[in-house]
Amino acid sequence: MAFFEKMESSSSSSYIPFIRQIAASVSAASCDAVVGGGGDKDEECRDEAAALRLKMVAVAAILIAGAAGVAIPLVGRRRRGGGGGASSGGLFVLAKAFAAGVILATGFVHMLHDAEHALSNPCLPHSPWRRFPFPGFVAMLAALATLVVDFVGTHFYERKHRQEEAAAAAEEAAAALLEDGGALPVGDGEGRDGRGGKRDAMHIVGIHAHAAAHRHSHAHVHGACHGGAVNDAHAHGHGHGHEEGPSARHVVVSQILELGIVSHSVIIGLSLGVSQSPCTIKPLVAALSFHQFFEGFALGGCISEAQLKNFSAFLMAFFFAITTPAGITVGAAVASFYNPNSPRALVVEGILDSMSAGILIYMALVDLIAADFLSRKMSCNPRLQVGSYIALFLGAMAMAALALWA
């Protein structure tokens, strides 16, 4: 009995430090320790009226920049679909490569760094936040979870798309047979009634669809490249059918990408909104405007490639454009009682930024860079390949350079 009492007392004593660490990590109390000693500077430059005016300017500038960035690829894709040629197709590929570089730099340079900065703040207890690399660990888990969501979502949309196509093909074939005066194929007796005719129609349509798919894949395997260039005539002539196939994957990519970008946009908007220092806000207005423009450009390219309906594309673009301005507005409203340097706020910010970093790094490397740079179209066109690599590095360097200010 004494043994069990001793074990119970030792286990309870070992749990006490752990409970205290958890309580310290989720505390909303104010913390005066700020990395780099920037707190005194903010207090010296504190001016609530001037800060509020700058926040209003920031809301307008960031809203316009984000809306312009996400709209350019959508408008450009619509014009290309209306009459663009191979040159406009090449420009769109270059724009996608630039956007992929932007997303990659956003994940590595901005979000992962912000997560490390938040979770290594002296306001948080040393154990466990500085004893274990939580930003990289959470980013890794987020990337693996994105892989699962990407796989499941793509298969779900593809299955749904195939079912809709099969139903539409069956209805068209049945209608075509009925227009011929009801002369349905005569076979084993079932072909004499409407139901059997519909099954025969579905069978005929299935044979034609399989043959068309075989011819399409055969053409891609044999003779897709002619003298180092892509067979643009084939790609353009079958553009609708070719893009219909991977559209399910593009839908999933655009939605996951928006999730990763929006979660970070809320954090940066809230951080700017709660600041009462014009010295802090002034450089962020221009930097975050360019930040949102580049991110919007990358997201707009993915949305346009998903070939969503006009309302769905508008809704995704609108939701992205208003996220950071809404975060600034909410931050300004709660600035009087919200403390961004409290342990609770730092933990939430660090975990969300780590998750966003993992999502965007996965999306950039797997769904944007690997999907395009390892494609046959890219390998068959050396000029497009070189231009895409240049655009990729330009996008990554431009977004990374913004880390000097934001």
> How high is the pLDDT of residue 163?
85
DSSP-derived letter for residue 185 is P
Maximum Cα interatomic distance, the chain, rounded to a whole number of Å? 96
Three-point CA angle 114, 336, 112, nearest 5°: 5
Helices (H), 180-309: 194-221, 232-237, 239-244, 247-274, 278-306
> How high is the pLDDT of residue 380?
87
Alpha-carbon span 87 to 340, nearest angstrom: 49
Alpha-carbon span 378 to 282, nearest angstrom: 42
> How high is the pLDDT of residue 376?
84
> How high is the pLDDT of residue 309?
84
Sequence-ordered list of residues with C-beta below 8 angstroms from that of 138, at least 6 positions apart, any chain: 115, 351, 354, 355, 358
> How high is the pLDDT of residue 393?
96
pTM of the model: 0.69
Alpha-carbon span 332 to 145, nearest angstrom: 34
Burial 327-344 (b: 16+ CB within 10 A, else e): bbbbbbeebeeebbbbbb
Rounded to 10 degrees, the C-alpha dihedral 161/163/167/170 comes to 100
Alpha-carbon span 387 to 367, nearest angstrom: 19
> How high is the pLDDT of residue 64?
96
Local confidence pLDDT in tens for the 406 residues of the chain: 555 455 555 555 555 555 566 555 666 566 655 444 445 555 567 788 888 999 999 999 999 999 999 998 888 766 665 444 444 577 888 888 998 898 899 899 998 998 999 899 888 888 888 889 999 999 999 999 999 988 888 888 888 878 888 888 888 888 887 776 655 454 454 444 444 544 454 444 444 444 444 444 444 444 456 544 444 434 433 333 344 444 677 888 888 888 888 888 888 888 889 888 888 888 888 888 988 998 898 888 888 888 888 888 999 999 999 999 999 999 899 887 878 778 888 898 899 889 989 998 998 998 889 888 988 888 888 999 999 999 999 999 998 998 888 7
Alpha-carbon span 242 to 236, nearest angstrom: 9
Neighbours of 48 (CB within 10 A): 13
> How high is the pLDDT of residue 57?
94
CB 333 within 8 A of CB 113: no
Q: Which of 251, 324, 329 is nearest to 294 (CA)?
A: 324
Q: Which of 171, 159, 228 is nearest to 202 (CA)?
A: 171
Tens-place pLDDT, residues 363-402: 899 888 988 898 888 888 899 999 999 999 999 999 899 8
Alpha-carbon span 122 to 38, nearest angstrom: 13
Q: Which of 355, 348, 363 is nearest to 135 (CA)?
A: 355
Tens-place pLDDT, residues 227-261: 444 444 344 333 333 444 446 778 888 888 888 88
